[in-house]
Structure 1
Amino acid sequence: MTTFDYDVLVLGSGPAGESAALNAMKHGHSVAIIEAQSAVGGACTHQGTIPSKALRHMVRQAIRYNKTPAFRDIGDPRTLTYPRLLSHANEVISRQVNMRSRFYYRNQIKVIFGHGRFVDKNTVEVLSEEGQVEALTAARVVIATGSRPYRPDNIDFSHPRVYDSDTILKMVNTPAKLIIYGAGVIGCEYASIFSGIGIKIELINSRDRLLEFLDDEISDALSYQLRNMGVMIRHREVYKTVEASDSGVEILLESGKRIHANALLWCNGRSGNTQQIGLENIGLETDHRGQLVVDEHYQTAVPGVYAAGDVIGWPSLASAAYDQGRSAAAHARGKEQCRFVDDVPTGIYTLPEISSVGRTERELTEAKVPYEVGRAFFKDTARGQISGETVGMLKLLFHPDTLEILGIHCFGAEAAEIIHIGQAIMKQENGGNTLRYFVTTTFNYPTMAEAYRTAALNGLNRL
């Protein structure tokens, strides 16, 4: 019988890798993690979720301060520079790294820093920064190497005025005007952040509308709010060339338009981190985005080799990655049934934020499913009026006959928190998922949660 150094070897310490390692260790398996960066946490902690949300929080605080008349007696309006925002984000990153390092220490999971590369399906070589090579063997391997921003070959990302969503965290000044190319989730979030500190934004979108996967009404609300913040949104535009110089950046669009700014933030797609990890040595191929295909157990085409997180593509969310990593580790240790993550709520941290679960109006209409709509506007809630967070709404889509909740869409402050109340009801079985819950339950007052009761009553009044 072959003896291995570890039962499970994990490539990457982001959410997927962390949860896979912890799950395996909690069930008595020996585990090691290989991390290519100099600290644990993956792109989620160092380049993605954590820093961008920390930046957003500071901008949101400043906006609330500047919009509250009572604070005018205290002092002048507060303006934030981008470097000052980054200092707060770096503090949060440091706390996250310390916390996650303790997870591994307490659970006796060995963390090896270096670049991992498959020799065969049970052997991974690790090249350290010092140039040392160490070969590790394991019965099972979980690939959780994450993703990185996609970079077209005809754009010079080495130029100091050209950034992607990783390198923007190294920008040392506050440009007066910024072009954001790509109006996906990352592009829209950064458009909110930068416009919130007074930077003029040109948001270039190659599609017909913002975030087309959202309910149309929510997408329209986001467009309105971004424009209200001064963002110039340009739909159905595709870049032709990008020219960067000492004086600024010019992007030439296929439509013939020339857009000028002080800097460019490229937010158009991501690629799986699968290059140079030796996949060719185990006969594993990726798609055109460098992403791996897995089965319902998160196992790749190579038995014993699993993949989870952004490296497998959709939904590319930290929340999903945690659950995917846990499921991969569960199957790797022999558990036949494991959860395949396919019902993830959206959480988009624009200003205001957006969250949804279930189907949209367009999806229901195309599927010829009858539905009715119930709405509650935050401006009409006591809590919203007290907090000053009056922008936004909660929208319930439900079947007019059974009152089954078909979709929930929220736009406004704390939307990503509010959504989980409705999500819990939608998960109820044996007829428990109906609008009746919200009209037969007493909610605290004043709260944002009571918007569910208001929206339910609004919907029932339409029947």
Structure 2
Amino acid sequence: MITRATSVVILGGGPGGYEAALVAARLGAGVTVVEQDGLGGAAVLTDCVPSKALISTADYMSDFEVAAGLGVRLQDPEGDEVSDAVAQAETVNRRILQLAAAQSVDIQASLESVGVRVLRGRGRVVDRGTVSVDTADGARTKLRADVLLLATGATPRVLPSAVPDGQRILTWQQIYSLTELPRRIVVIGSGVTGAELAQAYLGLGSEVVLVSSRDRVLPGEDADAATVIEDVFRKRGMEVLSRSRAAGVERTEAGVVVSLVDGRTVEGSHALLAVGSVPQTAGIGLEELGVERSESGHVTVDRVSRTSVAGVYAAGDCTGVLPLASVAAMQGRIAMWHALGDAVAPLSVRGVAANIFTDPEIATVGIGQREADESPDIEVVRLPLARNPRAKMQAITDGFVKLFCRKGYGTVLGGVVVAPKASELIFPVALAVQNRLSVDQVSSTITVYPSLSGSIAEAARQLHQSE
């Protein structure tokens, strides 16, 4: 607990900012959060929460197809078979935005309940202890800051030759204004955001063309997992253009034309830009303050979220540590624990689980295949999910469980799960990695039969280290 009154100013109300505010307030500091768009930031309002809600809606659509394969059909009261489920884009997007707004309101209520002051506006660092805020009502106010946390997040990267107009050429933050489902959407970029949203629109009923500049989709992920996802994309009718880099996008009378570097063109009704993000660290006084940033503009931090300037901390996507809401939140908490003198442990990403919300999902934790290939001391086993009895019951044919352990010791070092709801299945693997459990400890824990998690225990059994 702090022993004197301390003023904490937080620029940005996303996961890194609002979780830090909760910690600081409970430790007795006077806390002000400055947020331009609304509590929760992009994660809640335009990114993580909305995109996963859109994907969940698409998942319901795919349930109809799975049910048909199991012998279940929809039928109207007259006994006629209902052939198609249809997504109503305006209704879907309205619900998503209402859900995001409600989450933002809940976060603000949580902050205010512990005495945090919330200022709607844009903040700029004047000097080490002062922040100037241009508020939403047109006023300007100055705040004293004994401790400053930068949690300004990131924004979609755009191409000079593909300027978003919010109607036909869109960033992932603009798609929720659509009142009609895109007839044919060209998704530019096959990283996590591109793959997730391409999957979502395919599931909702759009024709989808995915433009990938690399040899395969999800180039930064486990190669086996990415291959499964690309095969599923193609099997379900998505057109995947590998080794195809977009040169620009132009509006036409009927939609858009995407020009590729090799001279080809792709026509569509809409284009979605998913070519990465840039940190929102320019123009807020960091240069004048002397806060060190990388060439990409990310704020440089250590494992307790300190920047190069004493008393100034940073958390979340503006740091480039890991672009995950869970990591941003932990960075924010650690920053306040450290700044206000509470017990603190440096950030460890060893046990951080990540998930890609495609269908099937890809969940990972710990080391991956690349590290295993480079070390003779790491053993790996991969089990196809189709062999699992619960998977057979649910007509799951795509996916696998992969575990990595250290030879001789059996310590679980990482894992990959490709499956429906892999985000839930990865948790026992994350527990094992975080707590340095052995494969024998994992396999000796009795699982429900039948269950998808049984494949995790079976993989651990196959990695048993005999003496």
TM-score tier, shorter chain, comes to over 0.9
- TM-score normalised according to structure 2 size: 0.92
The answer to whether structure 1 residue 427 and structure 2 residue 428 are counterparts is no
- How far did residue 305 of structure 1 move? 0.9
Whether the aligned pair in 2 keeps the contact of 1:392 and 1:410 (CA below 8 Å) is yes
Distance (Å, rounded) in 1 between the aligned partners of 2:61 and 2:259: 34
The amino acid of 1:59's aligned partner reads: A
Distance (Å, rounded) in 2 between the aligned partners of 1:282 and 1:340: 25
- How far did residue 335 of structure 1 move? 4.4
Distance (Å, rounded) in 2 between the aligned partners of 1:342 and 1:442: 28
Residues 285-364 of structure 1 correspond to what in structure 2 (within 5 A)?
Answer: 285-335=292-342, 337-343=344-350, 344-364=352-372
Is the deviation greater in 298-307 or in 238-247?
238-247
Residue 29 (structure 2) aligns with? 29
Whether the aligned pair in 2 keeps the contact of 1:14 and 1:44 (CA below 8 Å) is yes
Question: Structure 1 residues 142, 66: closer, same or farther in 2, change over 3 A?
Answer: same
Residue 124 (structure 1) aligns with? 131
Whether the aligned pair in 2 keeps the contact of 1:55 and 1:88 (CA below 8 Å) is no
Residue 79 (structure 2) aligns with? none
SS in 2 for 1:68: helix
The amino acid of 1:455's aligned partner reads: A
Whether the aligned pair in 1 keeps the contact of 2:196 and 2:358 (CA below 8 Å) is yes
Residue 255 (structure 2) aligns with? 248
Question: Structure 1 residues 90, 388: closer, same or farther in 2, change over 3 A?
Answer: farther
The amino acid of 2:73's aligned partner reads: R
CA deviation vs aligned residue, 1:327-357 (integer Å, no higher than 9, x gap): 1111111347432242222211111111011
- The number of residue pairs the alignment matches comes to 455
Distance (Å, rounded) in 2 between the aligned partners of 1:259 and 1:73: 36
Is the deviation greater in 106-115 or in 391-400?
391-400
Distance (Å, rounded) in 2 between the aligned partners of 1:399 and 1:341: 19
Is the deviation greater in 326-335 or in 336-345?
336-345
Whether the aligned pair in 2 keeps the contact of 1:5 and 1:138 (CA below 8 Å) is no
SS in 1 for 2:446: coil
Residue 9 (structure 1) aligns with? 9
- How far did residue 187 of structure 1 move? 0.3
- How far did residue 190 of structure 1 move? 0.3
Residue 449 (structure 1) aligns with? 453
Distance (Å, rounded) in 1 between the aligned partners of 2:96 and 2:401: 30
The answer to whether structure 1 residue 56 and structure 2 residue 55 are counterparts is yes
- How far did residue 390 of structure 1 move? 4.4
CA deviation vs aligned residue, 1:427-451 (integer Å, no higher than 9, x gap): 234xxx2211233221122322222
- How far did residue 136 of structure 1 move? 0.8
Residues 59-138 of structure 1 correspond to what in structure 2 (within 5 A)?
Answer: 59-69=58-68, 71-75=72-76, 76=82, 77-138=84-145
Whether the aligned pair in 1 keeps the contact of 2:299 and 2:318 (CA below 8 Å) is yes
Give percent identity, aligned residues only: 28
Residues 372-387 of structure 1 correspond to what in structure 2 (within 5 A)?
Answer: 372-375=380-383, 377-387=384-394
CA deviation vs aligned residue, 1:278-304 (integer Å, no higher than 9, x gap): 223313353343321112221111111
CA deviation vs aligned residue, 1:115-156 (integer Å, no higher than 9, x gap): 111111211111122211011111011010111001222322
Residue 277 (structure 2) aligns with? 270
Residue 165 (structure 1) aligns with? 172
Whether the aligned pair in 1 keeps the contact of 2:440 and 2:464 (CA below 8 Å) is no
- TM-score normalised according to structure 1 size: 0.92
Is the deviation greater in 122-131 or in 358-367?
358-367
Distance (Å, rounded) in 2 between the aligned partners of 1:206 and 1:462: 45
Residues 90-239 of structure 1 correspond to what in structure 2 (within 5 A)?
Answer: 90-158=97-165, 160-239=167-246
SS in 2 for 1:212: coil
Residue 396 (structure 1) aligns with? 403
Distance (Å, rounded) in 1 between the aligned partners of 2:133 and 2:327: 28
Question: Structure 1 residues 220, 398: closer, same or farther in 2, change over 3 A?
Answer: same
Distance (Å, rounded) in 1 between the aligned partners of 2:320 and 2:373: 28
Distance (Å, rounded) in 2 between the aligned partners of 1:224 and 1:173: 28
Whether the aligned pair in 2 keeps the contact of 1:7 and 1:139 (CA below 8 Å) is yes
Whether the aligned pair in 1 keeps the contact of 2:43 and 2:325 (CA below 8 Å) is yes
SS in 2 for 1:13: coil
Question: Structure 1 residues 403, 233: closer, same or farther in 2, change over 3 A?
Answer: same
The answer to whether structure 1 residue 369 and structure 2 residue 396 are counterparts is no
Distance (Å, rounded) in 2 between the aligned partners of 1:325 and 1:461: 40
Question: Structure 1 residues 336, 67: closer, same or farther in 2, change over 3 A?
Answer: closer
Residue 45 (structure 1) aligns with? 44
Is the deviation greater in 157-166 or in 278-287?
278-287
SS in 2 for 1:72: coil
